[in-house]
């Protein structure tokens, strides 16, 4: 699985630390978008109407897509990993779900606020 590396070797530890670094670097922009920016624009995003629905879905779509894209960029530079485009597949799912959420009227901001404050 890890190309012959045993869990105690320095190469294995370096690989795990690199994977952790990629995850942290990918999560930071998602955190900024979905917690910091979302906090300041949440009064606009939880309102009723098409524009808040569109903006809320767009914010979540961009944040999740960017997270997966940064994961792809981090793992794509490793020469021993094959088929790293697998990390881009969730972006296709997000693109498919975006119009479905708009058509069904699902507002992720209202949903997240109900989880946080109910």
Please give the average per-residue pLDDT across 4-17, as a whole number. Answer: 80
Determine the Cα–Cα distance for residues 28 and 67; give it in Å rounded to an integer: 9
Report the 10 Å Cβ neighbour count for 18. Answer: 14
Exposure class string for 70-82: b at 16+ Cβ within 10 A, else e: bbbebbeeeeeee
pLDDT, tens digit, for every residue of 47-103?
Answer: 999 999 999 999 999 999 999 999 999 999 988 888 989 999 999 999 999 999 999
Alpha carbon distance 49, 42 (integer Å)? 14
Q: Which two tokens stand for residue 81?
A: 């990993």
Q: CB atoms < 10 A from the CB of 4, how many?
A: 8
> What is the residue extent of each domain of the chain?
10-117
pTM over 0.75: yes
Instruction: Give CA–CA dist 53/42, Å, rounded.
Output: 11
CA–CA gap between residue 49 and residue 105 (Å, rounded)? 9
């Amino acid at each position: 699985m890890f190309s012959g590396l045993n869990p105690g070797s320095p190469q294995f530890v370096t690989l795990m630390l690199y994977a952790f670094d990629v995850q942290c670097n990918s999560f930071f922009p998602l955190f900024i978008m979905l917690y910091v920016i979302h906090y300041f624009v949440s009064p606009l995003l939880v309102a009723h109407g098409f524009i808040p629905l569109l903006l809320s879905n767009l914010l979540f779509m961009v944040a999740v897509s960017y997270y997966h894209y940064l994961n792809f960029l981090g793992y794509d530079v490793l020469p021993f990993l094959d088929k790293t485009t697998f990390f881009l597949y969730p972006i296709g799912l997000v693109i498919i779900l975006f119009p479905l959420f708009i058509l069904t009227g699902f507002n992720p901001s209202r949903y997240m606020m109900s989880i946080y404050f109910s």
